[in-house]
């Protein structure tokens, strides 16, 4: 049978494009670098959103919405911020049939406009912490766009919080990192991200500290899946976010921001895909099980099976298109990465059994219809764990443990490397950059996230990145 996809080994970037096209995840939009997210891709994003929203709310933040349009003057108030974003901005100069007096920036991120409103809403220490989140689209002009990974417009959540002191801001930035981002990525996406601290070189524009979740893709590169920033008092000073303390003094607040985006869908593809298409972890999958009627005479029976599974809380699609050859349909569901397929033909029905096919391992086995619900539930949990375990083993096998800058540069150009940060340092970091290798994060040797980059004994993870 002719392969539907370019194989990963042959051409990984082309395999990635093929999966997105054939699994009907997304298309390129008409304006450079923009993206059309098709229903199946969007269903995956909606599941990520729903799971992320629960975690963000559990961390106490409330959703709100701030404008798409930001006055150009706002962007200039925080010096590092404007410098970081200027090359990527899209600018509205005309509206309502007239040239505007002041050009408008299409938000690349909302620190500035949210800073302006935090300054109005925060008066006293009683108003703190102020914990906000928004789901929105943002625009960053991309010269080398790639669907989901780097698009001129993308969808994301951006959290923005204000705190009375440094410790509270630091703790909250970490709480989001672990309880929202890491938990979602590891336990829902089955992506075993490394969490750590960015070096000064890699920090967000305007931050005093950036924490990150980094995934390893199947071609051995790194993908930043979510970041959480301590902004210190930089934005509070630029936007005058001040509060009256319990003692009666006026203090600048300490702020944080944190974001995760449709890029996570790209990470999902690049961590879990194979030559047959996408593989979606059961905890995430918008469709966990597809029930396929092999022949027309079993259509009623597959609907009954679908209803029963749905009643036990499984997300099910029934494929009753018996006029389309079974093989073609099975390939389609494999491409889309649906974790389990229940296949039913007339002889199966006679034998009161169905075939249960597993996307992850490719295995198939007959299951009595009476045991189907329990077996599906069991296998969904098994496959979820197997995907996480598999991805973690793959990741660990591709991290070279090296002790010199040269070895780090060589290994990082092929896969990942870990190297003592004391050995690497900012000079070594600059040297790695010459081979396109960057420090993805700093960790303590026990995997913990360091408080500073000057702690003794830190480990730097280095790789090329998307």
- Which residues contribute to the site for a second copy (CB under 8 A)? 27, 29-31, 34-39, 42-43, 45-46, 62-71, 74, 86-97, 103-104, 106, 113, 116-117, 120, 132, 136-137, 139, 141, 143, 152-153, 155
Minimum CB separation of residue 305 from a second copy in Å reads: 22
Minimum CB separation of residue 88 from a second copy in Å reads: 7
Measured CA to CA, the distance from residue 168 to residue 152 in angstroms comes to 34
Minimum CB separation of residue 114 from a second copy in Å reads: 9
Q: Any idea which residue has 């798409």 for tokens?
A: 68
Minimum CB separation of residue 64 from a second copy in Å reads: 5
Minimum CB separation of residue 281 from a second copy in Å reads: 21
**Residue nearer to a second copy on the CB measure, 158 or 383:** 158
Measured CA to CA, the distance from residue 261 to residue 155 in angstroms comes to 6
**Residue nearer to a second copy on the CB measure, 25 or 190:** 25
Minimum CB separation of residue 110 from a second copy in Å reads: 10
Smallest Cα–Cα separation from 173: which of 158, 157, 161, 184? Answer: 161
Measured CA to CA, the distance from residue 207 to residue 412 in angstroms comes to 26
**Residue nearer to a second copy on the CB measure, 95 or 433:** 95
Q: Is the peptide bond before 129 cis (omega within 30 degrees of 0)?
A: yes
Minimum CB separation of residue 366 from a second copy in Å reads: 32
**Residue nearer to a second copy on the CB measure, 62 or 445:** 62
Measured CA to CA, the distance from residue 318 to residue 11 in angstroms comes to 34
Q: Any idea which residue has 């209803």 for tokens?
A: 307
List of residues 6+ apart from 292 with CB closer than 8 A: 302, 319, 326, 329, 330, 333, 341, 342, 343, 344
Query: Around Cβ 58, how many Cβ atoms within 10 Å?
Result: 12
List of residues 6+ apart from 362 with CB closer than 8 A: none
Q: What angle do helix axes 372-397 and 263-272 make, rounded to 10 degrees?
A: 90
List of residues 6+ apart from 440 with CB closer than 8 A: 194, 196, 212, 214, 222, 224, 416, 461, 462, 463, 465
**Residue nearer to a second copy on the CB measure, 137 or 385:** 137
Minimum CB separation of residue 39 from a second copy in Å reads: 4
Minimum CB separation of residue 57 from a second copy in Å reads: 11
Length of the chain: 466
**Residue nearer to a second copy on the CB measure, 101 or 427:** 101
Concatenated DSSP letters of 369-430: GGGHHHHHHHHHHHHHHHHHHHHHHHHHHTEEE--SHHHHHHHHHHSEEEEEHHHHHHHHHH
Minimum CB separation of residue 284 from a second copy in Å reads: 16
**Residue nearer to a second copy on the CB measure, 35 or 409:** 35
**Residue nearer to a second copy on the CB measure, 9 or 31:** 31
The two structure tokens encoding residue 439: 């420090």
Pair 396, 377: CB distance under 8 Å: no
**Residue nearer to a second copy on the CB measure, 90 or 400:** 90
**Residue nearer to a second copy on the CB measure, 86 or 123:** 86
Measured CA to CA, the distance from residue 340 to residue 3 in angstroms comes to 21
């Amino acid at each position: 049978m002719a392969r539907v996809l370019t194989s990963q080994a042959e051409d990984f970037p082309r395999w990635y494009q093929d999966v997105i096209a054939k699994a009907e995840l997304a298309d390129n939009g008409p304006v450079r670098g923009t993206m059309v997210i098709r229903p199946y891709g969007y269903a995956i994003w909606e599941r990520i959103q729903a799971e992320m929203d629960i975690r963000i709310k559990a961390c106490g933040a409330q959703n709100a919405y701030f404008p798409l349009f930001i006055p150009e003057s706002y962007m200039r108030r925080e010096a590092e911020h404007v410098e970081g974003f200027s090359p990527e901005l899209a600018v509205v100069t005309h509206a309502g049939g007239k040239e505007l007096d002041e050009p408008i920036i299409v938000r690349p991120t909302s620190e500035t406009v949210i800073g302006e409103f935090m300054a109005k809403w925060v008066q006293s220490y009683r108003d703190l912490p102020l914990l906000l989140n928004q789901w929105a689209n943002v625009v960053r002009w991309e010269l080398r766009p790639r669907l989901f990974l780097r698009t001129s417009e993308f969808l994301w959540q951006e959290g923005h919080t204000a705190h009375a002191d440094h410790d509270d801001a630091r703790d909250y930035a970490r709480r989001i990192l672990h309880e929202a981002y890491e938990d979602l990525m590891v336990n829902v996406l089955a992506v075993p991200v490394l969490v750590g601290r960015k070096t000064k070189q890699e920090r967000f524009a305007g931050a005093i500290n950036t924490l990150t979740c980094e995934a390893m893709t199947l071609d051995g590169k790194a993908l930043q899946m979510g970041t959480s920033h301590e902004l210190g008092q930089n934005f509070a000073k630029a936007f005058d976010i001040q509060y009256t303390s319990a003692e009666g003094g006026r203090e600048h607040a300490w702020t944080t921001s944190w974001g995760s985006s449709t890029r996570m869908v790209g990470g999902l593809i690049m961590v879990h895909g194979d030559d047959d298409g996408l593989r979606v972890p059961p905890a995430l999958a918008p469709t966990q099980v597809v029930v396929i009627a092999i022949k027309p005479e079993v259509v009623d029976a597959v609907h009954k099976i679908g209803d029963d599974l749905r009643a036990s809380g499984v997300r099910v699609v029934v494929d009753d298109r018996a006029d389309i050859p079974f093989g073609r349909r099975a390939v389609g569901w494999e491409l889309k990465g649906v974790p389990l397929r229940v296949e039913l033909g007339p002889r199966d029905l006679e034998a009161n059994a169905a075939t249960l096919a597993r996307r992850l391992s490719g295995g198939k086995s007959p299951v009595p219809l009476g045991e189907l619900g329990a077996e599906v539930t069991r296998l969904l949990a098994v496959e979820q764990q197997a995907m996480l375990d598999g991805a973690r083993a793959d990741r660990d096998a591709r991290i070279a443990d090296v002790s010199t800058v040269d070895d780090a540069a060589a290994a990082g150009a092929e896969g990942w490397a870990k190297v003592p940060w004391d050995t690497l340092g900012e000079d070594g970091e600059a040297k790695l950059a010459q081979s396109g290798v960057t420090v993805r994060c700093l960790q303590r040797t026990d995997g913990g996230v360091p408080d500073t980059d000057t702690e003794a004994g830190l480990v730097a993870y280095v790789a090329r990145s998307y």
